[in-house]
Structure 1
Amino acid sequence: MGTKPHSIRTKRSNLMSAITIETGQFDPTTQKFIKALAAQRAKPIDQLSITEARAVLENLQAHPVDKLPVAIEDGILPIGPTNEVSVRIIKPVNATSDLPTIMYFHGGGWILGSKNTHDRLIREIANGANAALVFVNYTPSPEAQYPVPIEEAYAATQYIAEHGDDFDLDSSRLAVVGDSVGGNMAAVVAILAKQRGGPRISYQVLFYPVTDANFDTASYHQYADGPWLTKPAMEWFWNTYAPDLGSRDQITASPLRASIQDLAGLPPALIITDENDVLRDEGEAYAHKLMAAGVEVTAIRCLGAIHDFVMLNPLVATPPVRAAIRLANETLRNVFSAEQAQSGQEYERGHI
């Protein structure tokens, strides 16, 4: 006879709600993280004020963690609907040449998140991919709502592509990367670049992306109460970002609703999802749809992980986080190296 799995009953805390946790469903460190949150008995994040909700993530990400050294440059770009978008450009220290460029769009439900919450992650990506990373501080919701943040994201990408030399960037080698709603924005920027004739994007990396304003997938039903990210939290995020329900049908809000023709010709993609996540199925559905459109796609699901796992500092040492970041960095580094080699060959042929 098999042994009955041991169950732990948790209380809803911050992004999570009551859920039965079966031993073995989560990475051990992740399971401890979930239990610790439950013990706090805090209000769910969707029941907090905007200020309180933002503080939850900022405080959580203050968890002590080692950070790789980088060179930092902060600036304001005269772009987008507001004509003012701040960015942080980080580079590996002692970079000796113009580096390829990563446009990074952060997660946090379009409401939360900042250069502080994602500091450790973006340092890892810049160093691991050997690239300059441009972190876009798009205007959060409710201060700005769809389509303003996504237009800021696209405008920042276009500006950096056109003015990379001003920042000592090789923006001819350009990738878009994002986590959660930032994955949504990276995907949409790639779509807008196709629609508007540029800039040319080499690659897209989407960590557990939001791809559809639809709360009726199997993973939404399975993980409606969490752990960590819940259906009520996602509904709150969408209601704050895109309160006009009709706007959610637009492919620049819900890229999964794009046609095969809309997606054909988009840059290759790496899409990383996690097992215990309301967003799992829509991320994987987007991967399948890109494949159907003829886009080169690598899609990976990390077992034992939860939403935001790549970003969360308390989980930084877990095997799923290490593997996901390593895969993303190696993929980007290989893409950029191949493009540099191809550019060199074309230059030589032109001077024979």
Structure 2
Amino acid sequence: MALRDDPRADPRMLAAMAPYGLADPQPPPPVDMHSSREALLAFCDEAETAYEAVNDVFTKDLPPVPGVSTETRTIRGVDGNDIALHVARPAVGAGPMPGILHLHGGGMVLMSATGPVYERWRTELAAPGLVVAGVEFRNAGGRLGPHPFPAGLNDCASGLYWMADHAAELGISGIVVSGESGGGNLTLATVLKAKRDGRLADIAGAYAQCPFISNAYATGDPDLPSLVENDGYGLSCALMASLSRLYDPTGDHARDPLAWPLHATVDELAGLPPHVVAVNELDPLRDEGLAYFRKLLRAGVSAASRTINGTSHAQDMVMRAAMPEVYLGTVRDIKAFADRLCSPR
């Protein structure tokens, strides 16, 4: 079944996708897990260009978000590299206020924090009273690559630690780490890394959207039926398996929870700060997000899950014009979570 034919799909989403064929059956990618690194990188470049064009379509006619100021800071990462932090905050308002460390999607291999969907997302989050810093982390492919694991994760952790060390300067009362898709992976992995690094106190909470965390895309997993149920709904397992080869070219980290957080043990999750794991009903990644949520509960972590019905992968943060109620519902949920955890005491 194609996404366009699934009766669960939100008709507003389908109508917005229809002119571009985004809900139609998708052809298989021209590469697979056994393709050469050169072929995978070339395909990643093409995919990045295509995704950027789609994102432009869904943001180009939106009016600016009023009352938000933006700036870019440059910090030094743990690997000695420069990292841009794109910061959005209310133009008027007294602090301190909650901080969000935002980690953009793209499967850890493509896209940029400067993309229009992510710039829009930061300003929409900032408008009601958040300070949002988007990390321009190194990707495993595309224009910001090729830098395999753990380069991007190290950049995200560097952004977190800098933000925590400069909380007074930024006017923030705490930090929630948040991201979607590949950024959802990096959100959860950054929390796990902070625990290993003795920096867990820097994090008030984590809000992961549609996290890409199982690394089961080539083999499947009977405990993750959405990989079959929703395969090809905007994302295919073949595509995800191919691009994941760029993140971990040798496969040495196939079960490393810092690369693929679903493989974290209950003991590794114990003691983590509160989490929200949000998933999309029609996403191949739905069930791995829910599995992580359930593992957090077994570890005794304060955790909640949220399923955005009728939507495919990450569409609740893309379709601002077509589904404003859905989009703003996610903005409000992140804001409420951050307010609860980061209120000045």
TM bucket normalised to smaller: 0.7 to 0.9
- 1:35 maps to a residue whose letter is A
Cα separation, partners in 2 of 1:255 and 1:93, compared to 1, 3 Å: same
Where does residue 120 of structure 1 map in the other structure? 120
What CA distance in whole angstroms lies between the structure 2 residues aligned with 1:112 and 1:27?
27
Distance 1:49 1:319 in 2: 35
Tell me which amino acid in the other structure corresponds to 1:22. Answer: D
Hey, what does 1:320 align to over in structure 2? 326
TM-score, normalised with respect to structure 1: 0.83
Where structure 1 has 5 or more consecutive residues not aligned to the other structure, the ranges are 1-17, 344-352
How many residue pairs align between the two structures?
318
Q: Is the 8 A contact 2:10 2:310 kept in 1?
A: yes
State the SS of the aligned residue for 2:279.
strand
Quick check: 1:249 aligned with 2:247? no
User: In the alignment, which of 204, 208, 211 is matched to residue 202 of structure 1?
Assistant: 204
User: Are the aligned partners of 2:140 and 2:147 in contact in 1 as well (CA < 8 Å)?
Assistant: yes
Pick closer, same or farther for the CA change 1:46–1:66 going to 2, 3 Å.
Answer: farther
* Cα distance, 1:124–1:46 mapped onto 2, change above 3 Å: farther
Structure 2 segments unaligned to the other structure (5+ residues): 31-41
**Is the Cα–Cα contact under 8 Å of residues 107 and 243 in structure 2 kept in the other structure?**
yes
Taking the TM superposition and a 5 Å limit, the aligned residue runs for 1:159-174 are: 159-165=162-168, 167-170=169-172, 173-174=174-175
Task: Kindly indicate whether the alpha-carbon contact (under 8 Å) linking 1:107 and 1:180 is maintained by their aligned counterparts in 2.
Answer: yes
Change (3 A) 1:39 1:92: closer
**Pair 1:219-2:217 in alignment:** no
Deviations 1:204-228 (A, max 9, x none): 101111121112131111122x221
Q: Aligned residue for 1:30? A: 13
Could you say what the CA RMSD is over the residues aligned between the two structures, in angstroms?
Answer: 2.3
Deviation at 1:40, TM superposition (A): 10
Aligned-pair identity (%): 23
Distance in structure 2 (CA, Å) of the matches to 1:59 and 1:244: 31
Query: What are the Cα deviations for residues 7-36 of structure 1, in whole angstroms up to 9, with x where unaligned?
Result: xxxxxxxxxxx7264353111111223433
1:100 CA displacement: 2.6
Q: Are the equivalent residues in 2 in contact too, given 1:29–1:315 (CA < 8 A)?
A: no
Partner residue, 1:334:
340
Map Cα deviations across residues 154-198 of structure 1 (whole Å, 9 max, x no partner): 111112211233x4332x511100101101111111111111111
Shift of 1:311: 2.8
**Change in CA separation of 1:204 and 1:73 when aligned onto 2, cut-off 3 Å:** same
For 1:95, the equivalent position in structure 2 comes to 93
| 2:166 counterpart SS class | helix
Per-residue deviation, 1:247: 0.8
The equivalent residue for 1:151 is 154
Q: Distance between the aligned counterparts of 2:193 and 2:22, measured in 1?
A: 44
Report the TM-score, using the length of structure 2 for normalisation. 0.85
Q: State whether residues 178 and 186 of structure 1, in contact with CA within 8 Å, keep that contact through their aligned partners in structure 2.
A: yes
Structure with greater Cα Rg? 1
Distance across 2 between alignment mates of 1:138 and 1:223:
29
Give the match for residue 51 of structure 1. 45
